[in-house]
Structure 1
């Protein structure tokens, strides 16, 4: 349903008992929306938790953007939603680019977060896209990764997304484990073209914002709550450098290596993912 939050309307998919421990899902993309995660995990996790999937402002089933957007806006939206729902503290689960937002949220408002789960996060956008393009290049003979120094820029983001876009229909080969290549993400076909257009507008705006280039890896050492990092064996996003920093810097961190899966463990091994997250949060 659409919920008025701050100066917009957010699509909020809430499942599970009202008095169950609350869990916020923070989607990636940028602009991916919560539809796919909730399709695979919403009802499963709702057996033990009050699961709250939110389309970020301007994304998919939320109201379209009417101006610029920053990562700070997304965090402020989540905080306003938490207060609106009367939740004192919730756990968060950030997937892909959502892991970056979840990390910023958890260290900006630590009293609001009980535990944090990161599934194949893209914390540092330069490192994450290094890894992503590196996974694509073996399928693109003759294409190279241009050298880059400095922070992420919109131009660099667009250039690297364009490289991955050259894979065309083969794009999902780098995101899924070899035994899961026939997996279909329902949002690709079940979400209206209008909503996909909104997601594209969001991605264009957020990658232009100064917040998109800001470093966040220093926040790992500031995580004040138990944290779980899930890394798929074939995931093309989370870099080795980010994993090492998590394992060395997070005060109360748990690392889980998910054999056989790629970027979408929550869909590729849905039941195992549910058990893993449920056990950690409990």
Structure 2
């Protein structure tokens, strides 16, 4: 079922799959601003055989209502939206799957609404944007070097190893990523996986993208996303699962070392995969996630 819910005054795009009696799970996409489209394309049918899957485009993203230029918006609005959706759907508690920046959101949501969460799956998450941005810059540098572009390789190295604020590192990575163009995707995964987006016209996708730009800009301006939430890991009270791709650049070794201290935490590595595990190995992903969420 695909619909819009009015959530705290805004239309939020919500997709629901699976029977009501099945364990409920909310998917939080990354980006910021990437949408749940790809996850639904690869996992909705697979997961909904044993789980009730709820996937959303976060406030202001893609198919959700646009955030006005004069409206206030910050990270906690996404968290409050999730809780409002849970209440509207009459779900007592649900598991959370957070991909990339969605993993950051999943950990924050669990901290503020612990009674609402049964389990958490972190798929190649970031909990510290500085660590992630530095590692992404190193990976971008290697890609530039492989193309013979020593100028931008040295620029990436300077930012990756220099004394810069997290906001600066993030902005420089976005700028250098634009220089790479389509080649940027090679940073995230060695596997190129196609998603059929022909259900929408090019004009519709362009309009959706404009909404997402506002979402990202306002989060960037608020700045809360640049705060490390590594300390939240020690407060994680529910069983959790960290899924990491062998070649993923977002969840660097520092993240994994910190997660290793989490009580009730498990780690599963996907060999040969990068950042998009749910699309790179969709059948194994379904199996691992379903087994974990249904495990007593």
Q: Smaller-chain TM-score range?
A: over 0.9
Matches within 5 A, 1:15-164: 15-66=17-68, 67-140=71-144, 141-142=149-150, 143=152, 144-145=155-156, 146=159, 147-149=161-163, 152-153=166-167, 155-164=168-177
Q: How far 1:185 sits from its partner (Å)?
A: 3.4
Write the deviation string for residues 129-173 of structure 1: whole angstroms up to 9, x where unpaired: 1111211111213222324547522x4322211112221121111
Q: Over the residues paired in the alignment, what is the CA RMSD in angstroms?
A: 1.6
How many aligned positions are there?
A: 277
Q: Does 1:252 align with 2:264?
A: yes
2:143, 2:187 within 8 Å by CA — same for their partners in 1?
Answer: no
Q: Does 1:185 align with 2:189?
A: no
Q: Which runs of 4+ in 1 moved over 3 A?
A: 147-151, 185-191
| Gap change, CA 1:176 and 1:189, over 3 Å in 2 | farther
Which residue in 1 is equivalent to 2:289? Answer: 277
Q: Residues 103, 148 of structure 1: CA spacing in aligned structure 2 closer, same or farther, 3 A cutoff?
A: farther
Q: How far 1:47 sits from its partner (Å)?
A: 0.5
Once the 2 structures are TM-superposed, how far is the Cα of residue 49 of structure 1 from its aligned partner?
Answer: 0.7
1:117 CA displacement: 0.2
Aligned equivalents of 1:133, 1:212: Cα separation in 2? 18
Check 1:185–1:137 CA distance in 2 against 1; reply closer, same or farther (3 A cut).
farther
Which string of whole-angstrom CA distances, capped at 9 and with x for unpartnered residues, describes residues 240-269 of structure 1?
Answer: 101100012x11100111101100010000
SS of the counterpart of 2:166? coil
1:68 and 1:206 in contact (8 A); partners too = no
How far the C-alpha of 1:189 sits from its partner, in A, is 8.5
Unpaired segments ≥5 residues, structure 2: none
TM-score by length of 1: 0.94
- Structure 1 residue 109: deviation in Å? 0.9
Distance 1:185 1:122 in 2: 24
Counterpart in the other structure of 1:223: 236
Alignment TM-score, normalising by the size of structure 2 = 0.90
- Considering only CA atoms, is the larger Rg found in Structure 1 or Structure 2? 2
Relative distance call for 1:150 and 1:170 in structure 2 (3 A) is: closer
Contact 2:243–2:269 (Cα < 8 Å) also in 1: yes
In the other structure, the counterpart of 2:226 is 213
